[in-house]
Structure 1
Amino acid sequence: MDDIGIPVWCAYAPNSRSIVIAQGKGLTDLDAKISTVMEALERAVAGEPFVKRIHGSSSHLQAMGCEVDRLSCLTAVHKTDLGPDDETEWVAGVNILSGDEIHIPFEAVVLDRTRDAQYWMSSDGLASGNNVEEAIFHGVLERIERDAHVLWQVGGEADLYAGCVDPRGFEDSALTGLIDKIERSGLALKLFDITSDIGIPCFTAMLGPGETILRARALHGETDIRHVEVTGGSGAHPFPVRAAIRAVTEAVQSRLTYISGARDDISPTTFSRSLPPLMRRAFDTVAAPPAADPCRGGVAGCRQDLADLLQHVLDALRNRGIASVIAIRLSEDTLPFSVVKVIIPELENPEGERARRFGARALAKGMGF
């Protein structure tokens, strides 16, 4: 339905317990189809996860020798924090930094919007893969990406757009091909390096009308840009160019979401209100070459093995003092794929209906620490 030419596909799951539509993007149609199906499977599994539940209070579980986390950072808006003697259902996960089992509330894991849950329900950290390790890798990267994006948003305008980079500077044929398609369609893309103190490369992309489109409108006296015309996407990966590709393709996918009207949870005012001046100024930024990628050209030490990449990411979290990376397998062992939920309580969460919008990292960044 768009004219960019970058593949985006969608799948529908009737009677879903969250949103009905799932979308996926990729460099090829096959990549996009696989991405779409995996996202649909993630949500289907998370709506009714195959996990063992234990009913009781956190104090009771602790008395039995169990480690627990009540996850007050994920308490839903208008709900009170779970107290030590309040009873609920618990599921066991693993803190993959220590290998220790830890119990967390079931409602912080399930994605079933038919429930009046005490916890914020989100697909954040929900991930799938050919095996558990691959799913965990994707889930951890998503949590790092969301944390970096929140920290980027709470900075001042000067810092906000200081990290604008030229995507062609990566000298990667796949990424350059994406930019060529975007520019041929009359659109403009700005890419920002939002890598946080964790050190895993993160980028966010903003996609909107290019100069050709804006000049044509000006001839008819139109100067306004609607908010819906600018879409964004973010990505994280140990290899910077892969993170950049994810951000760019995510921005393209978001554009298709609006064009197709696929989502039923978007406010009608989104399609009519003007683009805020701060966002419009993003397209006036001057791009600099990206930071040198130490892994370009197969430099020794830059490994492609999944286990090594996951360990690299976990080490980066550990080095920043992150103590807990909780992974819960949601899918049955008999399925030919794995779905997990990854929760990293100390990292920031994206905007959502939580009692607490920001955590310690964002508050410290906002106050200049």
Structure 2
Amino acid sequence: MMKKCVVVIGEGFFAKETKSFLEKKKIEVFQVNSISELNNDLSSFNAVLSCSDEKNIKEDIFIQQFAVEYKKPFLRCTIDMEKILIGPWVIPEENVGCVSCCEQRFVVAHPQKEILRRKSEEFLEIKNENNLKMDSVTGLFFATIIHNQLELYFQGQKKDMLINAVYVGNQENSHGERHSFLQNPLCATCNLLPGDSPELATINFKEIYKSEERTYRLDNPLLNLEKLRNLYVDYRTGLITHIYRNQIKTRWMPFVVSEMPLFEGDVIEYGSGRTYNFYDSEKSSILEALERYVGMHPRRTKTVIHGSYKQLKDKAFDPKRLTLHDKSQYEEPGYGYIPYSDDLEYNWCWVYSWKEKAPVLLPETMIYYRLLNDNSKPRNRFVYETSNGCALGNSIEEAIFYGLLEVIERDAFLVSWYTKRPLTRINLEDVEDKNLLIITELIEAEGYDIHIFDTTMETGIPSVWVMMINPKENAPVKTYSAAGAHPNPEKAILGALVEVTTSFAIYEEVFLKDREKAAEMVSDSGKVQVMDDHVLLYSHPETLERFSFLFTEESKTKNIRECYKSWYEEEPSMNFTKEVKHLLNVVSDTFGDILIVNQTSSELEKSNLKAVKVFVEGMLTMSFGHQYRRINLKRIQQGENFFRQAVTIQTMDDVNSDPHPFP
């Protein structure tokens, strides 16, 4: 049996009460006021506790590091104003969240994070003298919890220990809750991240088979809602702090939103889930939030290379090959980036080139769209980037596949818009998934029009543009557009349809007060500055005529089975990896190189998830704010030649100059 001997480091009432109670429970306790009294010797103790009446994060981290250095488990116990904090346990040689990870999660999740951050920073240096004074009954209660934690450790019952968790108790009523958190890959104390390298960027494909021919999501038993909630959702310490059903504003589809607060400022990122039921919608909203989390800032490796393209061009991918902003845009209202030159210095990350089958360098600011502040080196962002091409998967192959689908979807939409391409309208009468008919009929019964257009281009992947119109003269939102792409055309339509139906109702309320602003955008495209402005612009009735190219005498209508014969008549391969590689080859042969960034963080690994961002040279990428458009004339001409067998667009003056209507 393990010897029960612990050291309690700290002074005050809480430490004395804890020592007294533990001794009554036959645990040998040695109490000191500070580490210096131990003479750098922890050999006699099984565990180390910090126990203080006054929260001091800096001191707790110092004791934690001291314990870990001597390979002793550490448990933080402290009073924080009216609260008692017990945990986390930090176990040497195990990748578990530490005190610093816990405090960072506290700060980010807090609704007044700037206040808590300042308070936490002060606690790094000074002690708090405004705590409630603990009485003996309260002290006994929380000492009991500490004892229980120690007994769990002595008995090897790690499952119920406060590992990656903290107990938050209330002194006034002795109530408390366990709050789980994930180790922070950016934690300076844990120092987890390896330096970015070619080896870590290399993608090694594995042979993977589908469960069914027409299923493109692989099985993952960890992706049930309960497990996702337990891992990622907690109002005090979770990546996601709040989930709600948006039932009032959305009439046609179950719509669930996951709120994910970001570290800097009061910004909240949202993950949206739109499916046929609330269970899957909630799961989808969590996964979308996670996808955005890893797409904003590197959390898999530490960026280590800084320089210019001119300095690094022997191993770097030329960013100009991915279509940057035209120099004429630099002077447009709202343009906020540094003009690009080959001499501009910035951070670079290793990514995988599909054509070269080798790692290359790509600018960090093109990969991550919301980088945290870094005072050591200037970011020098020179191009607008979004989550375009970001995707999660149950394998790296699946993530790449869905990242490619998003790039294909948006390229097809933008080519259609910039060329004013006449599109074939899709009739859903012979659709397999009758829910699609039910949704469209519900919407049309309320007086709205739904139009589904085929935008499929060179890759052959079914791509669609779904457009909803309110025919009323005083409509608060006149039109709303969305796009989708998937080997199964019905999945492509569903993806766009649920976006349109859930968003339309929300914007009808939001835009009631913004009609004047929308009118200004109609006459001045330069006022379309951010993502929501694109939606607001096309909510205005006067913009309906901009879609006239979709409703001409040339426009055709086809049944879905006629439009996508190959899907309904041919059996896809069971070999998923073979299908992914085939699509990669089709895209790269048609357009150019494909760059793949592995963005999988340790938090995602807990659910066996992978994350990537995919770039395709030569395809159009989505941007928001008209001043940040990224138009590749060669691609537009290539697209026009594909569907017209002729090129009428010779210069940029021939390109549709109106801001795109993509949300």
Matched, 1:92 2:328: no
Distance 1:176 1:272 in 2: 25
Matched, 1:59 2:310: yes
Q: 1:117 to 1:242 in 2, by over 3 A?
A: same
Deviation per CA, 1:279-310: give whole Å up to 9, x if none: 5755797733231422326x34x235532332
**Contact 2:480 2:500 (8 Å CA) reproduced:** yes
**Contact 1:49 1:331 (8 Å CA) reproduced:** no
- How far the C-alpha of 1:246 sits from its partner, in A, is 1.6
Matched, 1:350 2:619: no
- How far the C-alpha of 1:356 sits from its partner, in A, is 5.5
Match of 1:276 in 2: 543
Matches within 5 A, 1:118-267: 118-156=382-420, 159-160=421-422, 162-209=423-470, 214=472, 223-226=473-476, 228-259=477-508, 261=510, 266-267=532-533
Q: 1:368 to 1:197 in 2, by over 3 A?
A: farther
Distance 1:280 1:103 in 2: 40
Q: Which amino acid aligns with 1:202?
A: S
Q: 1:361 aligns with which of 635, 639, 654?
A: 635
Q: 1:181 to 1:26 in 2, by over 3 A?
A: same
Structure 2, unaligned stretches of length 5 or more?
Answer: 1-247, 331-337, 374-379, 512-529, 641-646, 651-663
- How far the C-alpha of 1:147 sits from its partner, in A, is 0.6
Distance 2:349 2:268 in 1: 24
Q: 1:312 to 1:269 in 2, by over 3 A?
A: closer
Based on CA coordinates, which of the two structures has the bigger radius of gyration?
Answer: 2
**Contact 2:479 2:544 (8 Å CA) reproduced:** no
Match of 1:217 in 2: none
Q: 1:314 aligns with which of 573, 576, 584?
A: 584
- How far the C-alpha of 1:93 sits from its partner, in A, is 0.6
Distance 1:177 1:305 in 2: 33
**Contact 1:165 1:192 (8 Å CA) reproduced:** yes
Backbone CA RMSD of aligned residues: 3.1
- How far the C-alpha of 1:141 sits from its partner, in A, is 0.6
Q: Secondary structure at the match of 1:303?
A: coil
Deviation per CA, 1:58-109: give whole Å up to 9, x if none: 333345xx242324624595332231x4321100111234422111000111
Match of 1:81 in 2: 340
Identity of aligned residues (%): 22
Q: Secondary structure at the match of 1:232?
A: strand
TM-score (normalised: structure 2): 0.47
Runs of 4+ in structure 1 deviating by more than 6 angstroms, as ranges, are 113-116, 283-286
Q: 1:269 to 1:356 in 2, by over 3 A?
A: closer
- How far the C-alpha of 1:4 sits from its partner, in A, is 3.7
Matched, 1:13 2:13: no
Matches within 5 A, 1:271-350: 273-278=540-545, 281=548, 287-290=557-560, 291-296=563-568, 299-300=570-571, 302-303=572-573, 305-320=575-590, 322-333=591-602, 334-336=605-607, 337-350=609-622
Distance 2:584 2:619 in 1: 13
**Contact 2:478 2:544 (8 Å CA) reproduced:** no
Distance 1:344 1:229 in 2: 33
Greater relative contact order structure (CA < 8 Å, 6+ sep): 1
Deviation per CA, 1:235-277: give whole Å up to 9, x if none: 0112222212222122123324414649x96349659732423
Q: Which amino acid aligns with 2:599?
A: L
**Contact 2:478 2:541 (8 Å CA) reproduced:** no
Distance 2:483 2:270 in 1: 20
Q: Which amino acid aligns with 2:323?
A: C
Distance 2:478 2:263 in 1: 29
Count residues with an aligned counterpart. 347
Deviation per CA, 1:175-204: give whole Å up to 9, x if none: 223323333444321000011223221001
Q: Which amino acid aligns with 2:414?
A: V
Distance 1:271 1:67 in 2: 40
